[in-house]
Amino acid sequence: MIPYNAIYRLFGLWMLIGGVLSVLCCWAGVHLVGVDRASFRRGAVAGISCALVTAIPTLGLTILPVIGTIFGAIVGGLISFVALLFILRETVLRTAKVWVFHVYAELAALFITMEVFQSRMLDLSPP
């Protein structure tokens, strides 16, 4: 059985990596999509807020065994899209294009975190 502190460390690692990658990807997305007044600060605010808004419902709904995490990620993704609409003040189509960059960042963070977790579990297994 996996100890609970390992799961929470894993979640913290996912939030950290997801936040950094989301800032970089949203910043790139804001420039590539052509958002008005595109700057690093605006991309960073969009990335950090989207990473937090995605992670909080995911953590909150993990109380339900399997479906809670999946449902939390879906709800967090939809809320992060609405948050991007308010932060960027752009059309829905341009916001959706930037949001796709955020989704790529979160998926990359998830895969990186799972690889780290898998390598740690292999280190903990008996020979």
Domain boundaries, the chain: 34-113
Residue 48 near residue 32 (C-beta atoms within 8 A): no
User: What is the C-alpha radius of gyration for the chain, rounded to an integer number of angstroms?
Assistant: 16
pLDDT of residue 3: 61
Q: What is the pLDDT of residues 16-69, one digit of tens each?
A: 888 899 999 999 999 999 888 888 898 899 999 998 898 888 888 877 877 887
Residue with tokens 């930037």: 98
